[in-house]
Structure 1
Amino acid sequence: MVNKLFLVFVLVGVPLSVIGSLLHWPSVLMFVVYCLTIVALAGFMGRATESLAIVMGPRIGGLLNATFGNAVELIISIFSLKAGLVGVVLASLTGSVLGNLLLVAGLSFLVGGTKFKRQKFNVYDARHNAGLLIFAVIVAFVIPEVFSQNMSDTKTMTLSIGISIILILLYLSALFFKLVSHRGVYQHGEKGTVEPNEEEEPEWGKGKAMAVLAAATVAVAYVSENLVHTFNEVGEAFGWSELFIGVIIVAIVGNAAEHASAIIMAYKNKMDIAVEIAVGSTLQIAMFVAPVLVLLSLLFPTVMPLVFSLPELIAMVTSVFLMITISNDGETNWFEGLTLLAAYLIMGIGFYLL
């Protein structure tokens, strides 16, 4: 039913997006059309990556899902940078961290927990990811904010570039560690969840899945560029700040693919994949997408230092500590999911009122 609905949104939304942008239809109307179209396209990207993930295992499957899910946000952010909306980009990065750790993980734990009393996942992966989360969000994001207080804009940007390069190199090293050098070393054996079984058939073959991914990514790129141009008028119409648009709206739309996939995986008791999507996507945003955007901003008139506002930093640090506390034992339940969602709602209210 949902897949048919997404198909209708794509078949109707993509042509409407083209026609509306050419005829300059009202920004508020087009904002809704663009958002629904991107969410529907993200749904197709999620189905394609899930098909590829079935034969590749939870780690690679989760990585694929997070990567193509984050591709949507990366595309939106690049066009936002081009338009000089640095505040929206930084806010959307914040929103991705909060959305993945609190909203995606929270909904996954809640939905899965309503079906299963206790759900377990690889505790070694959880502890490994905890260390990376602390480094990426707390060390790499807080340091520029603290040091920039006594630096010129040029030195702050230089610091941001240096940190960005280090983050990218460490992220690539983390992938090598998990997928190559230490693949299979830290197994949880019988304590784990149900892994994808051999009888499960992918919805699409590799060729079709890759073709769908390519087509959806191109369509998302086009729609995203038009979406960025509606932000100012929509903000004025609804009384939304640039911060709220970035933290809540762009983050939810940009991460729609992994939202749906993680929840579905949790409902199937495939918690290794669900957690890898939520936490792995956060790490990819913090250690790869954000640094890449800092470096790409050098190509545009307005550069983007890796300096977040105090509310953004506190929200991200809080969400990291909460997620680590809940997930570090390698198991979860519906109440822990509800706790994460409650934290997300509290922060959402705060950002709306700022």
Structure 2
Amino acid sequence: MANKIFMIMTFAGVPLSIIGSLLHWPSTIMFGIYCLTIIALASYMGRATESLAIIAGPRIGGLLNATFGNAVELIISIFALKEGLTGVVLASLTGSVLGNLLLVAGLSFFIGGLKFKRQTFSVYDARHNSGLLVFAILVAFVIPEVFSMKMDMTETISLSVGISLILIALYLAALFFKLVTHRGVYQKENGEAEEHEEPEWSKKRAIFTLALATLAVAYVSENLVHTFETVAESFGWTELFIGIIIVAIVGNAAEHASAIIFSWKNKMDIAVEIAIGSTLQIAMFVAPVLVLVSLLFNEAMPLVFSLPELVAMSSAVLLIVILSNDGESNWFEGLTLLAAYIIMGIGFFLL
């Protein structure tokens, strides 16, 4: 049923997005159409990556899901940078970190926990990811904020570029560590045999669908960016709220749906890999790439977040590290993460 709804939304949303942009329909109407279309396209991306996850395994499947899910946000952010909306981009990066660690992981723990009293995932992967999260958020994001207080903009940009290159190098090294040198070294102890599951789509169809959906999202995203200012004025929203809540939720719709589906099927390894792996990719790859890409435009983007953004991200990291380091989850832990997300959402709305 849900697949039919998303199919209708896609085949209606894409033509309406094209027609509306050509005929210059009101921005508030087009904002809604663009958001719903991106979410519908994201559902196809989610189904395709689920098929690839069954074929390639949870780690590679989770990585593919995170990569193509984050591709949506990367595309939106590049167009926003082109328009000089660096505040929206930094806010959307913050929103992605909070959304993945608190909303996606929270919903996965909560919804999966309603069906299963105790769910487990690889404690080794959880601890490995925890170290990278602390490094990326509490070190690499905090340092530019602290040092920029004594620097001018040129020096801050130089510092941001240097940190970005280090983050990208370490992220690639982390992938090499997990997928090559230490692949299979740390296995979750589980006596139960995993049931064989047939993928919904073949490998070729899944990759083709991913590529096509990403191209469609790129077109819709470019038009979505142009509606931000008008929508903000109409609803009284700040750029910060649009970036942290709206863009982040729309941009990460594929991961949201997939992680929840996997947790309901008790496949917590891939659900956690999507939520935390996506956060690491945002912090250690997408954000640094956007800093480097911004050098091509009129206004370069420093890797400097506001104090509320840093405090919110640091709090989210500490909370998820404490709750996930034992390799187990339940519905109450999920509810705790969701409560934290709602509190932060209210704060950013009123800020």
Q: TM-score range by the shorter chain?
A: over 0.9
Aligned partner of 1:349 in structure 2 is 346
Query: How far apart, CA to CA, are the structure 2 residues paired with 1:350 and 1:102?
Result: 15
Query: How far apart, CA to CA, are the structure 1 residues paired with 2:184 and 2:208?
Result: 31
C-alpha RMSD over aligned residues = 0.9
Letter in 1 for 2:118: R
The 8 Å contact of residues 55 and 203 in structure 2, kept in 1 or not, is answered as: no
Query: How far apart, CA to CA, are the structure 2 residues paired with 1:293 and 1:261?
Result: 25
Superposition deviation, residue 80 in structure 1:
0.3
Query: How far apart, CA to CA, are the structure 2 residues paired with 1:231 and 1:318?
Result: 28
Aligned partner of 2:22 in structure 1 is 22
Aligned partner of 2:269 in structure 1 is 272
The 8 Å contact of residues 96 and 248 in structure 2, kept in 1 or not, is answered as: yes
Aligned partner of 1:82 in structure 2 is 82
Aligned partner of 1:10 in structure 2 is 10
Structure 2, unmatched stretches of 5+, are: none
Give % identity.
76
Match of 2:329 among 304, 317, 332: 332
State the 4+ residue runs in structure 1 displaced beyond 6 angstroms: none
| Cα-to-partner distance string for 1:216-241 (whole Å, 9 max, x where unaligned) | 01100000000000000000111100
Q: Secondary structure at the match of 1:189?
A: coil
TM-score after normalising by structure 2: 0.99
Query: How far apart, CA to CA, are the structure 2 residues paired with 1:271 and 1:214?
Result: 26
Superposition deviation, residue 94 in structure 1:
0.1
Match of 1:316 among 308, 313, 317: 313
Aligned partner of 1:176 in structure 2 is 176
Query: How far apart, CA to CA, are the structure 1 residues paired with 2:72 and 2:280?
Result: 16
The 5-angstrom pairing of residues 92-107 of structure 1 reads: 92-107=92-107
Aligned partner of 1:202 in structure 2 is 199
TM-score after normalising by structure 1: 0.98
Matched, 1:261 2:264: no
The 5-angstrom pairing of residues 170-319 of structure 1 reads: 170-190=170-190, 195=194, 197-198=195-196, 200-319=197-316
Query: How far apart, CA to CA, are the structure 1 residues paired with 2:246 and 2:120?
Result: 31
Letter in 2 for 1:181: T
Query: How far apart, CA to CA, are the structure 2 residues paired with 1:55 and 1:11?
Result: 28
Letter in 2 for 1:231: F
Q: Secondary structure at the match of 2:190?
A: helix
Superposition deviation, residue 189 in structure 1:
1.6
| Cα-to-partner distance string for 1:278-322 (whole Å, 9 max, x where unaligned) | 000000000000000000000000100000000000000000000
Q: Secondary structure at the match of 1:150?
A: coil
Query: How far apart, CA to CA, are the structure 1 residues paired with 2:11 and 2:187?
Result: 44
Letter in 1 for 2:45: M
Structure 1, unmatched stretches of 5+, are: none
Query: How far apart, CA to CA, are the structure 1 residues paired with 2:209 and 2:270?
Result: 21
Query: How far apart, CA to CA, are the structure 1 residues paired with 2:273 and 2:161?
Result: 28
The 8 Å contact of residues 67 and 281 in structure 2, kept in 1 or not, is answered as: yes
Q: Which moved more, 1:237-246 or 1:207-216?
A: 207-216
Letter in 1 for 2:335: L
Aligned residues: 351
Q: Secondary structure at the match of 1:188?
A: coil
Query: How far apart, CA to CA, are the structure 2 residues paired with 1:194 and 1:350?
Result: 45
Letter in 2 for 1:229: H
Superposition deviation, residue 194 in structure 1:
7.3
The 8 Å contact of residues 259 and 275 in structure 2, kept in 1 or not, is answered as: yes
Query: How far apart, CA to CA, are the structure 1 residues paired with 2:50 and 2:12?
Result: 24
Superposition deviation, residue 145 in structure 1:
0.1
